[in-house]
A and B are shown apart, each in its own frame.
Chain A
């Protein structure tokens, strides 16, 4: 039996390609979850700050443990991350500077302490700043976890696996508390869910994740994996659970696609993954069904036409005199600057709302009914009235 497992290990787990992708996927999921809450709390910048300011924690931890993957080092470094948050908040509380300025003050200071520590001890430490910032996923499988001589797979896979399990457990237990404290701090506090505890809980998880992942993928990819999937998912859904699932999906997709892109281009794996994350975000930003740029522009254009249409129909409704309803006169009577009168006429005709006889426009029964409903809606704002028209008219949606 043990022999068999060993063989399976040998065939599957020692295949560096699969191992690299597995590590990337685990890191992506572990980052996406706290990332969602950071994005919703508008704290994306703080993850960047943490990722840099943990450097002195890592260096000091490394002096003590001599092992980049030791749990003690991870906790020490994560503690530096939490200190960053505390410092930022203390500076902010003085009221002298805004949050982004406070972040800008704290993290370069801590980061440079880390750099100096490395430089001063360059001889004893095999750590360099480039490796910390950019990371190199390709080397991750070289660090093996050996238990009594047996190869258990890459060390960083185990480290990140444990971090991911803890994150999932905490998310499962405290989902409702995280949700309410992110949406409404005041209510959360009044209900007895201390926003402070939840805030520092989230900061601790984020710090531990960043520290655990930096060795495998580098600080820049960690930040990208935390923020980009969440920001992308935010554009696609109005449900927190779906946002979490989508973020995880985007993270995993970008990790795998990025890996193969790197393979194809013979480029840096972390760099390719970051690129894919950026491309996915851009595509969603442009094409998302309701919050995407194109659909927003389309909706605005459509609404302009619809406003003109209703103005036009109201005008017809209000005027029995034929000279007011002559096609050539309509241009003067209604403000058409934004929309060509032709497209409005066409839209009204296509919907059977008007009839044109001898260049005199009149409302059909359907047109009259629609105009009255629209008028009533504009006055009362009662949504029930126009529920059935929502599908056809942007104006009446939300």
Chain B
């Protein structure tokens, strides 16, 4: 455990919107091969942290490394599932087409996706149980189905590190189980998976690593060591009681 390689390393990260910091001086080391939850109240800066790591937002201070190199050099190692509300679901496009977008990164500028990319995308759709919906316009999918399509898009990126922003938002129990099983499979294959998560009850069951975040980093480490009332209270500000030990 101690010698594990670091998948992601964040040092002294401060991010602001309009000069108002929403993340203060974050230090975060994420070892390779963990399935990690990021928990914290609404507005804690969870999405912002992921966006900063992926270079979507420019931080005002600090540095970020993916396997010891800047993100720009490691793009192909990283897959990203944004929060569902961040895209326009009425956009004229189909489920298959959305999944194909996951292949654009490895293609680079100008080059178009071909048969190989299409085949990989169909396989990813199959994996999340959405193959029969491949030609469905995305607004005609239920919330859970949309989330599965997003997951398929991340799978097709064939990355080493997966960032997912609230993948369980608005999905039914069947989809939640299907998604978490795929995430556990990814971990088994040695991938690192980082998930913004809201349901504290399921943290010990789903994840082996956890980061508590509320503007500052409260704690990070193995679920069995640090997922306790003390950290929950520090993060959420109220006295939180959850059944940590089942």
Residues of A bordering B, CB below 8 Å: 40, 93-95, 173-177, 179-180, 182-187, 189-193, 234, 237-240, 242-243, 381, 383-384, 398
Most buried by B among A93, A193, A238, A240: A238
Is chain A's interface secondary structure helix, strand, loop, or mixed overall?
Answer: helix
B94 contacts A187, C-beta separation under 8 Å: no
The A-contacting residues of B in range 54-113, CB under 8 angstroms, are 54-56, 72, 75, 78, 80, 82, 86-88, 91-94, 97-98, 101, 104-105, 107-110, 112-113
Q: For residue A244, which residue of chain B has the nearest CB?
A: B92
- Known contacts A174-B110, A193-B104, A383-B133; 15 further A-B pairs (Cβ under 8 A): A177-B104, A183-B88, A183-B98, A184-B101, A186-B56, A186-B86, A187-B101, A187-B153, A190-B55, A190-B56, A191-B105, A239-B94, A243-B92, A381-B172, A383-B132
> Number of residues in B with C-beta < 8 Å to the partner?
37
The verdict on B201 contacting chain A, using a C-beta distance below 8 Å, is no
Are B105's CB and A237's CB within 8 A? no
In this assembly, does B140 line the interface, its C-beta being within 8 Å of a C-beta of chain A?
yes
CB-CB < 8 A to A175: which residues of B? 112
**Closest chain A CB from B31 CB (angstroms):** 22
Chain B neighbourhood of A383, CB < 8 A:
132-133
Distance in Å: Cβ of B48 to nearest Cβ of chain A:
12
Measured between beta carbons, the chain B residues less than 8 angstroms from A239 are: 92-94
Q: How far is the CB of A285 from chain B (nearest CB, A)?
A: 16
User: In the complex, which residue of chain B has the Cβ closest to the Cβ of A184?
Assistant: B87
- A193 to chain B: which residues have CB within 8 Å? 104, 109
A292 to B109, CA, bound (A): 37
Report the Cα distance A165→B18, complex, angstroms.
Answer: 40
Query: What are the residues of chain A within 8 A of B113 when measuring CB–CB?
Result: 176
Cβ–Cβ < 8 Å partners of B86 in chain A: 184-186
B231 close to A (CB within 8 Å): no
Collect the chain B residues with CB atoms within 8 Å of residue A381's CB.
142, 172
Query: CA of A185 to CA of B107 in the docked complex: distance in angstroms?
Result: 18
Do A40 and B54 have beta carbons less than 8 Å apart? no
| Pair A186/B82 contact, Cβ less than 8 Å | yes
The chain B residue with its CB closest to the CB of A380 is B174
Select one of A179, A187, A192 contacting B93, CB under 8 A: A179
Residues A186 and B51 in contact, CB atoms below 8 Å apart: yes
Q: How far is the CA of A182 from the CA of B87 in the complex (A)?
A: 9
Residue of B nearest to A237 (CB): B92
Chain A residue nearest to B137 (CB atoms) is A238
Minimum CB–CB distance for B94 against chain A, Å: 7
Q: Judge whether A398 and B140 touch: CB under 8 Å.
A: yes
